[in-house]
């Protein structure tokens, strides 16, 4: 199943709407609640990043029985040095973003922690693409 959402840069009032919708869908599909939490925490961090840094973005969630694959494509300033951006504590967030309770340079590392695979590509002055992959319904017994 594929679901698409638009995200508006700078609009903090609605930041998290897409993550919230996707969480509801995952719950309806009876995905394990620990898996849901990992997916939506990573997704919410990524959605907030679009709102905080980009002009606009599109989230495409591809859900099947064994994995959730989410693509976030934004039009924005891009990330000049992804390795640096991945470092805990590094942030270019504005004071407005910090007032919202974010911008501490923790989002990208937390997205990596909560996903099984994460890919980031970026072109400066064009935008950033983030792919988040979480394997679900993996039996541990």
Partner 1 sequence: MKINEIVSLLNATMVCGRELGEREVEYGFASDLMSDVLTLETDNLLLITGLANNQAVRTAEMSDIPCIIFVRNKKVSQEMIELAIESNITLIEYSSSMFKAIAILSQAGIKPVF
Least gap, CB of 100 to partner 1 (angstroms)? 5
SS3 87: coil
- 3, 8, 10, 16: residue in contact with partner 1 (rule CB under 8 A): 16
Q: Which stretch binds partner 1 (CB under 8 A): 8-16, 65-73, 76-84, 125-133?
A: 8-16
SS3 55: coil
- 3, 110, 131, 133: residue in contact with partner 1 (rule CB under 8 A): 110
Contact 135, 67 (CB under 8 A): yes
Nearest to 50 by CA among 31, 73, 30: 73
Q: Is 25 in the site for partner 1 (CB under 8 A)?
A: no
Q: Is the dihedral of CA 64, 69, 71, 72 positive or negative?
A: positive
Q: Is 12 in the site for partner 1 (CB under 8 A)?
A: yes
Q: Which stretch binds partner 1 (CB under 8 A): 7-15, 53-61, 62-70, 133-141?
A: 7-15
């Amino acid at each position: 199943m594929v679901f698409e959402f638009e995200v508006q840069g700078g609009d903090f009032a609605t930041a998290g709407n897409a993550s919230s919708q996707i969480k509801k869908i995952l719950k309806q599909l009876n995905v394990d609640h620990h898996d849901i939490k990992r997916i939506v925490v990573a997704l919410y961090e990524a959605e907030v990043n679009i709102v905080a840094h980009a002009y606009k973005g599109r989230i495409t969630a591809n859900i099947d029985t064994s994995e959730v694959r989410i693509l976030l494509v934004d039009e924005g300033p891009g990330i000049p040095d992804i390795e640096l951006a991945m470092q805990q504590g590094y942030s270019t967030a504005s004071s407005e973003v910090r007032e919202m309770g974010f911008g501490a340079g923790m989002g990208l590392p937390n997205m990596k922690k909560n996903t099984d695979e994460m890919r980031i590509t970026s072109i400066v002055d064009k935008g950033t693409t983030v792919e988040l992959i979480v394997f679900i319904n993996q039996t541990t017994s």
